[in-house]
Structure 1
Amino acid sequence: MRALLINAGLFFFVMIIGYSSVLGIKWVMSEPMVVKGDFSLHREASSKKVLFYGTDWCPICEKTRTYFKARKVDYDELNPEKDEQVMTNYLLTESKGYPVIIIGNTMIYGFNVDEVESALKENGLI
């Protein structure tokens, strides 16, 4: 009986982990969300029109940096892991990951070239 309970517990544990993984992959593979609004709170630390929340270890953040540098876009990167106030502001974005890009009145969750270019053009930055 004890072995049956242990096996049943392991089965449910594996099922929960597996389902969570599927949800995580679904979120990562989905299109980034784009939100329009007033993001002036996030600009308190920067006067630049383009900023993004990112980390040193995030490969998508590195793609974002490379993209901005290649197009000579003037931006500020805010790293929530290095500054407590930045972390407080990042948490207000309700993001599940990095990067979170703010261009003018557009917030983009994740990195999508079409969305970023559209926001840059809308703000006269490219």
Structure 2
Amino acid sequence: MKKLFVLLVLYAAYQHWNQSPVEPIRATYAASNEVIMYATAWCKYCQKARIFFDDNGIAYQEFDIEKSFAANERYQALNGQGIPLLQVNGTLIRGFNQDKIVSSLH
């Protein structure tokens, strides 16, 4: 009986391992931020960036480098070597790096 109880407690703890008991306070960002994302439709890190921007109310412009020749040219001019390629208030960020994005926002 004790083993069953211990297993149930461990299972419950495992199920809630990554959940915070208190919902984090959403940061507010200035509307004057300029965020540009060069991305593709299939990129999972691009999707993470979209979710981050949407969840935090951050306006951004997205350019699909596979669907737009002009977007691909701008991406190449920035020496794009991976996606997403982000420009946040003039700072170039390669890949989805939440800490770098937050430090570049107002």
TM above 0.5, one fold?
yes
Q: Give 1:5's aligned residue.
A: none
Cα deviation for residue 94 of structure 1 reads: 1.2
Verify: 1:89 aligned to 2:99, yes or no.
Answer: no
Q: Distance in 2 between matches of 1:70 and 1:86?
A: 25
CA deviations 1:6-54 (Å, max 9, x no partner) are xxxxxxxxxxxxxxxxxxxxxxxxxxxxxxxxxxxxxxxxxx7111000
Cα deviation for residue 77 of structure 1 reads: 0.6
* Aligned positions, number: 74
Verify: 1:54 aligned to 2:39, yes or no.
Answer: yes
Q: Give 2:60's aligned residue.
A: 75
Greater helix share, structure number: 1
Q: Percent identity?
A: 32
Q: Give 1:27's aligned residue.
A: none
Give 5+ residue unaligned stretches, structure 2: 1-32
Query: 1:1-126 to 2 correspondence within 5 Å?
Result: 49-120=34-105, 124=106
Cα deviation for residue 78 of structure 1 reads: 0.6
Give 5+ residue unaligned stretches, structure 1: 1-47
Q: Give 1:16's aligned residue.
A: none
Cα deviation for residue 95 of structure 1 reads: 2.0
- Secondary structure (helix, strand or coil) at the match of 1:52 reads strand
